[in-house]
Chain A
Amino acid sequence: MLEYLARRVLVMIPTLLVISALVFIIIQLPPGDYFTTYMNELQSRGESIDKAKIEFIKKQYGFDKSMLEQYFAWVVGMLHGDFGYSFEYSQPVSDVVGDRLLLSFIISFTTIIFTWVVAFPIGVYSAVRQYSLGDYSLTFLGFLGLATPNFLLALVLQWLAFSTFGTSIGGLMDPQYIAAGWSLDKMLSILEHLWVPVLVIGTSGTAGMIRRLRANLLDELNKQYYVTAKAKGLPPGRALVKYPLRMALNPFIADIGNLLPEIISGAAIVSIVLSLPTTGPMLLNALQSQDMYLAGSFLMCLATLTVIGTLLSDLALAALDPRIRLSGGASR
């Protein structure tokens, strides 16, 4: 087990290095850089800025160095916890991202809980009562959630929330709490705004989860051990929870690998439509304005979380699913 763990961790290093190089190259691929984008934007609004001044600023930020040097400076900096400098905010990247992470985390976490709470019972129900009226109607609802474009649902719900409850449009809290410290009222205001994004992001995830759980459970329900258990007189509820459900939990655990990065990038489009102060819109803006260190650090963060998440879910699966063995070796 330890040897396996060590091997996996060691493999992560070259993986992340390759990812960092790719990220850096891809961000640099579009024509121009942050400063040309910035200049164009200013000009398109009628402002102008001295070209010589831009050259000077570029030099100050090390744009005169070669790509390779810039890349190494960035990677080495990241190892020290220095994620570079955001041009857009003219602040170090770590300062910029700071408080947005918390709100992103709140939203993503609530959404995940929401998805599980909804998907789990429905998935079990529709597997046990396969092809019943309930199965069909719940599945239909799930698919509806999957099929409705998120941004549309977000707009509609947002308007409904405003016109029926008077919830202010956009953002995650009423404006007067933005600068205020944490208080009960602020929490309530956040709760008041939170349900729209949670519902919107949640609905799309729910359907997938329901279907996977249903399919896995159906596989198990037809197996002999379950039939035997029931035939021996085990109460149906207990029989279900004790054996097939545990098998069917596999996808939930395997999902952890995807959940971690989602906490950061989660539902960028919905966040943009709802103007949420989370990290998703920030990442998009950074990519659009070619704010390369901010975007690069974000993407690196996502990559790291994905790699770690995959490792965690593999480990959890190995621990929880008796069918997976680490010591088996290749079967051929």
Chain B
Amino acid sequence: MSPALLCTAIASLVIAFTPHCVNAKSYIEPPTLAADVAAGKLPPVGQRLPETPYIRPMNLANQSIGRHGGAMKMFMARPKDIRLMVVYGYARLAGYNRDLDIVPDILRDLEIEDGRKFTLHLRPGHKWSDGVPFTTEDFRYYWEDVANHDMLSPTGPPAALRVDGKPPAVTIIDDVTIRFEWDNPNPAFLPALAGARPLYVYRPAHYLRKYHARYKDTAKLNAKAKKKGQRNWAALHNKLDHQYKNKNIRLPSLQPWVNTTKGPSEQYVFKRNPYYHKVDPDGRQLPYIDQVVFGIASSNIIPAKVGTGQADLQARYLRFDNFTFLKRNEKKSGFNTRLWRTGKGAHMALFPNLNTNDPVWRKLLRDVRFRRAISLAVNRHELNRVIYFGLALEAQNTVLPGSPLFRDKYQKSWAKYDIAEANRQLDSIGLEKRDDRGIRLLPDGRPLDIIVESTGESTEEADVLELIQDSWALIGAKLHTKPTQREVMRNRIYAGETVMSISSGLENGLPTADMDPEDLAPTSQVQYQWPKWGQRHETMGNMGEAIDMPEPKRLKVLHKKWLRATSTDARRTIWHEMLKIHADQVYSIGLISGVLQPIVVRNTLKNVPVKAIYTWLPCAQFGMYEPDSFWFTDTSPPKKQATYR
């Protein structure tokens, strides 16, 4: 090959690669930081980024490369909601991408062996928001000085770091490599790191060391703590060390925006992290938007504020019934309203309490024919039409269509409105006798009065129950609604005093096979259909009751098997078996799901998906949709709104 040809070949290679590997020279400084860089207060962008920054490909449909600048205004109801900035910022060691796979984010790379040996590779040159290097020392500090310190964490390392109660072996290989190793697989580890409320296995050691008794004089630290109204140094350390709560403005961060407002305040300002580790394909350091502003307003007034164009992006505290109001104000206020599906297994579901104290009811609720009958007697289509404009999904409490585990038959199982079949099922149980009102009689002669307890927080639940009341009357069952306070209701359910309750369904409606199916097995007291079995699991067998029905036993066994499974295929098989049992046994009666969440987006704000799923897990609400890549076409400060008549 002639030298000239070789040159051309290399040149073309270089050209071919430029979009993917941006060299240090071509990083673009955010204009707001340029002055600080010129004044020498900040190093230039090339030195602030890690050696290999995370390059956002920005190649999804409707995604475009943007420009720096602007402030994004959102509203929150309470000062403690500032923790949501950590959720929306969504910088995680490893996080979910849009296909719901967990991929490295802060980490450069992640190696997994047999699901039990995790080697984390950090990005060399990665820095905290104050410019101090982020290294494995930060992990060591967490592991040795926080998680295993008897005053800071008296209960030891968190549950996600323990397999069968045993903590991992943590090995620091070098400055940027660390290994967590368990004897058995730990499928909970990565989802915990990727969570909306993540598990932090690292701490800004250089900052927190100043407050740790291992490194400073205990007496002095205690005196300092007393002055700040804390009991001792450990309490002060724990207060300062809360990356999720986001209250300590001096705590260094790895998030795209860091809090700069010390509460209490009516407004919290989050400024860009000059050391954030992501760039766009052109080399612009992300985030595009310079600052995010959370205004604090009472939750009832937020829809009105949003409707008058005061927010740039808002979903929280907007309800579906605000939709028409928002839509009407779109043009005047310069935003558009999108509807994202919510991602809970069911927006609302009825939970028959299989642990109820009343023996007659317990026997009846445990009869699958009864559960199927009352499910068949719910007119989901009517609910959808009357309350949700026909836009929701008429489905059981199971996974949603966006999940790879979704099957139509799970969703439709015993969900068709069929009064005749429901009546047949009830007759076959032996509830043929009726009183003069046409209400069926229980075996001991009491009428079939089903009391459904609700939290009474929303009128929506009451509306839904009222509609169900009508159709249940046709099968000879009388529904009574009993609104109580949430705590009271929970305690009644836990104690077995409740027969049935209404609440939302599966927390994560979009699971993949690699996510923990704990919601499907009796693992927690908060599962309203079997609180006592769940409590048994939570308290390691000290309290609650042992499972005494075959299918829930099987669910528990399957969940254990899932925790031990090493391959995704094996996990998928287990998921499907569990979902099938639920679909067949109707442990919860899903009423409606996929209810829509209005999302208000300023017209000038780009890269916000038009259609998406809005949910806490796994999407972290906005987090999964990469808010650091949102940008404004017009970054001039907002003028006072024009009046209009």
Contacts and interface: CB of A to CB of B under 8 A. Distances in A.
B487 A36 contact: yes
A37 B487 contact: yes
Interface stretch (A44-52, A123-131, A211-219, A320-328): A44-52
B201 to A, nearest CB: 15
A89 interface: yes
Interface in A1-57: 30-32, 36-37, 40, 43-48, 50-53, 55-56
Interface string B154-166: 1100110000000
B13 interface: no
Contacts of B615: 46
A174 interface: yes
B310 A175 contact: yes
Interface stretch (A106-114, A159-167, A237-245, A301-309): A159-167
A36 B486 CA distance: 11
A92 interface: yes
A168 B310 contact: yes
B305 A169 contact: yes
Interface string B285-305: 000000001010110110011
Interface string A133-164: 00000000000000000000000001100111
Nearest to A57: B238
Nearest to A174: B640
B301 A56 contact: no
A60 B238 contact: yes
A166 B643 contact: yes
Given A56-B154, A175-B295, A277 B643 contact: no
A68 to B, nearest CB: 19
B616 interface: yes
A82 B228 CA distance: 12
A179 B305 contact: no
A275 B264 contact: no
Contact of B308 (A31, A47, A164, A168): A168
A301 B641 CA distance: 40
B487 A277 contact: no
B491 A163 contact: no
Given A40-B486, A96-B264, A46 B507 contact: yes
B247 interface: yes
A178 interface: yes
Contacts of B247: 90
B80 A88 contact: yes
A91 B231 CA distance: 13
A269 to B, nearest CB: 11
Nearest to A48: B197
A31 B269 contact: no
Given A51-B538, A56-B154, A89 B79 contact: yes
Contacts of A90: 239, 245, 247
Interface residues of B, number: 55
B593 interface: no
A272 B298 contact: yes
B329 to A, nearest CB: 11
Interface in A73-89: 82, 85, 88-89
B264 A89 contact: yes
B487 A31 contact: yes
A50 B196 contact: no
Contact of B310 (A31, A40, A165, A169): A169
A170 interface: yes
Contacts of B263: 89, 91
A37 B491 CA distance: 12
B155 A53 contact: yes
Interface string B61-89: 00000000000010000111000000000
A171 interface: yes
Contacts of A170: 297-298, 301, 304-305
A32 B487 contact: yes
Contacts of A273: 298, 300-301
A162 B333 CA distance: 12
A228 B61 CA distance: 92
A34 to B, nearest CB: 12
A202 interface: no
Interface string B133-170: 00000000000000000000111001100000000000
A47 B620 CA distance: 10
Interface in A280-324: 281, 285
Nearest to A49: B197
Contacts of A122: none
Contacts of B155: 50, 52-53, 55-56
Given A179-B267, A281-B298, A162 B491 contact: no
A272 B196 CA distance: 30
Contacts of A169: 301, 304-305, 308, 310
Nearest to B260: A179
A274 interface: yes
B264 A175 contact: no
A273 B297 CA distance: 10
B217 interface: no
Given A40-B486, A46-B616, A166 B310 contact: no
B431 interface: no
B197 A274 contact: no
Nearest to A175: B295
Contacts of A37: 487
B305 A163 contact: no
A30 B310 contact: no
B462 interface: no
B78 A164 contact: no
B78 A285 contact: yes
A44 B197 contact: no
Contacts of A60: 231, 234-235, 238
A55 B153 CA distance: 11
A47 B616 CA distance: 8
A164 B643 CA distance: 6
A166 B638 CA distance: 14
Contacts of B645: 163-164
A89 B297 contact: no
B159 A50 contact: yes
A136 to B, nearest CB: 35
Interface in B306-349: 308, 310, 344
B310 to A, nearest CB: 6
Contact of B616 (A45, A96, A100): A45
B559 interface: no
Contacts of A47: 196-197, 616
Contact of A162 (B229, B265, B308): B308
B643 A165 contact: yes
B488 interface: yes
Given A90-B239, A175-B310, A43 B301 contact: no
Contacts of B73: 175
Contacts of B616: 45-47
A37 B526 CA distance: 14
A178 B154 contact: no
Task: Report the 6 A-B pairs with minimum CB-CB distance, sorted nearest first.
Answer: A46-B616, A52-B155, A166-B643, A178-B267, A275-B297, A275-B298
11 contacts: A36-B487, A46-B344, A46-B617, A47-B197, A89-B79, A89-B80, A99-B264, A164-B645, A169-B304, A273-B298, A275-B300
Interface of B: 73, 78-80, 153-155, 158-159, 196-197, 229, 231, 234-235, 238-239, 245, 247, 261, 263-267, 269, 293, 295, 297-298, 300-301, 304-305, 308, 310, 344, 485-488, 490-491, 507, 526, 538, 615-617, 640-645
Given A30-B485, A55-B155, A170-B301, 14 more contacts: A40-B486, A46-B344, A47-B197, A56-B154, A60-B231, A82-B229, A163-B644, A164-B643, A168-B305, A169-B305, A170-B298, A171-B266, A274-B301, A285-B78
